Structure 1
C-alpha cells in the first residue's frame, strides 16, 4: 500500500483525469510518454467516437485531442461534449492553420490550440494553464458544496435575488415554496413568484401591489418586517424577513426567521392576559377596548348595539354564609350559563366582583331585554350545589350616536340600580324619563 502511494505522489498532477484522443499511432505514443510522466489517470482513444464514449464513462477534467480523425473529428467530438459540460478544459492539436479551424475552435470554446509539429514547451504551458483552471474550478465547487451545506443546515429560509430573479436558495426555502434546490444550469425564478405566498394580515407586511413586493419592502429603511407566508399544506407561517446587499455584487440576500411558535405563544399569553382567570370571561380592561371599537363601528355604519350589566343578588351574604370557595363556584357557574346562552359575536366580561357585562352587537334595547330576561330566568331556576337558588339583576341600555363610552356605561349602571331598588331579580331598560 505504501508503495502505491509513493507511485501516486510522483506525478505532477495526480488528481487530474485526462482524455487523450489521437488517431496517428506514432504521434500518440510520443505524446503519451510525456503525459504519463505527469498524470496518474489517462484514458486514450484513437478517434472521436471512442473519445466520446470514454468521456461519458470517465468524465475527465482535461481533453487533449487532434482535430482530423477518421470516424468523428475532434471538433465534432468536442461539440457533443460541450452539450454535457461547458467547463471541461480542452486543448486541440492540429496541422491546419486556416481561419475556418480557428472560428470553429472559438465556437466550441476550445481553451488552447497547439499547431503540429507540437512544440513541447507550448503544450506544457497550455497544460499548466488548463490544470490551474481545473483546480480553481474544483476549489470553487468545494466552496459551493460547503456553502450549500451551511445554507441547508439553516432552519431559516434563505434566498438570493439578482436583477429580479431568485438565483440561490436553501432547503428550508424549498420546503415552503416547492422550488427545487438549484443545480448546474438550472434556470432561476422571477422574484414575482413569491408574491403569491404573502398572506394578508393587518399585523404583517403585505404588499399593496404584489408584483412590486420588493420595492414596497425596501420602502422600509430598516429592511426588516414581519410577514405571513402560506405553507405547502395550506397552513400559514410567520417570519421576520430581513434583507441586505451582498458586498461587491448586485445580489440581495433575504433571510426569513420562523417565529410561528413564538407568535402563537405570544397570542396565547395575550389571550390569557385578557381573560379573567376565575370565570374565563374577558377582563374589564379588554371589554373597554372592545366597547370603544364597537362604538366606532356603530357610528360609521349606523348600526345598533346594546349593553347588559348584571349583578348577582346578595352575593356578599352568600359569600359570608357559604364561604369564598362556594362563592367562586357560583361566579364560575353563572359565567358558564351566560356564555352558553349568548351568540359567538356577543362579548362577555367580568366587570368587577360579582358584576358581569355584555355587549350585544346588532341588537336594540328591546331585544337585549329579551336576552337579559332569558339569562335571568335560567340563573333563577338553576339549583346551585349546597346553596340552592341564586338570582341576578340586570340593567340594559342601547347605544345611540353621540353617546360617549362613559355615558353608555353610566346608563347601564343606573338601569341596574333601578332593578336592585325595585326588588332585585329583574331587568330594567334605561330611559331618559326615569
Structure 2
C-alpha cells in the first residue's frame, strides 16, 4: 500500500463522544461505495447505533497528504472494511465463532493500489491470532474474494409463487397463523431466528438491522417502511415458532404481488403453514421471495409444483477457513474415515498437508507431511465443502480439486455431509 495512505481501525463512538464524526464519515463512505442515496442525519445516527449494538469494528483507509481542492476531504476514507463476530452453524447443532466481513468498498479513483488486500490480509491474520477458525462474507461481486481464500458455501434463489387456484398444499395444519402489529417483531424476531439458527447448517446469527427491518422500523433507504405487514405462526404448544413480514407491490402492476420481506420458520410445519397463509391472501395472485433456499420443500408440498417459478440461483454465504486444524476438529462428521488433504493458502495463514481422522463422528487433525495425499485443494475449496453445500465430486470435475486417490472426492462428500441442506438467511 503506498505511503500516502494510512489505515485506522476504531469502534463506532456514541453520538456525544469526540469520535462520532469519524463514524459518520465512515458510514457516508460506505453508502457512496454501494451507490446508496445520501441518507438523513437521523438514519445515519440510527445506523451507527445498530453497529454499536453489533460490536462492529470500522476500518478505513485515509489519505495522509493534501487532497485536491474541491474534492472530498481527507476525513472521508477512500476505502472501508467492517467486521463483527457472530456464530455460524456448522452442522448437527454446533456453532462456531466466526469473523464476519462487511462494508467493503474502495473509491473508484483509488483502486488497484493494494488497499483492499492490505485491509483483508491484516484483519484475517488478526482474527486467527484472536483464536477464530473461520471468516465469512456475502459478496456483492463474485470475482473478488476467491483470491483471499473465500469459497462459496451456500446459495439462495429468487422465487415467484403463483397463489391462484393452482396453489394447493398437501399439508394438514398443526398450528395457526395470526396477523400481528409489525412492531412485535422487535421483541419476537431474535428468539424465533435463534431457534432456526440452531437447527440450520450454514445459518449465521443475525445483526441488529434484521429485527428493525423485518418489523418495518427501518427500510433499506431511509426512515420506516409503513407498507410492512406481519403474520405469526403459533405451534401446537401456543408459542410463536415462525413469522413472515411482507408488503404489497401495488395495484399498478399485474399480477398483483406480495413481496416477502423476511420469512423465518423454526419448524417444517411453521414454514409450510406460513406459505398456506400467504397463498390465501385475497386480491393477490403472486408472492415473491428473494432469499428462498435452493433445496426448498415448498414445491414438493404443492399439488402442482410448477406454481413455484425458481430463478436466479446465486451464491450467498462465502466462508474462509483461517485455521484448518481448528475448523475441521470443530465439526461433527456423519461418516468415519480418513483423508489426507494438501491445502494451499496464498495468504499463508493455514496451508499444509493434514490428516483428517474421524471416529465416532469426532475428528482428530494432524500434520501429514510426507504422507500419501488423497485430495489437493486450496483453502477456498476446502471452505466450500466444509458445510456440505458444494459437492467435492463436482469440484473435482471442475479441476478445483485434484483427486490423488480415486474415489477420495466421493469419500469427502460423505464425511462432510450435514443433517439438512445448508442455507443462510443472513446478509451482512
The structure number with the bigger radius of gyration is 1
**Higher-strand-fraction structure:** 2
When you count helix as a share of all residues, which structure comes out higher?
1
* TM-score, shorter chain, exceeding 0.5: no
Which category of TM-score, normalised to the shorter sequence, fits these structures?
Answer: under 0.3
Report the TM-score when normalising by structure 1. 0.21
Q: What TM-score results when the alignment is normalised by the length of structure 2?
A: 0.21
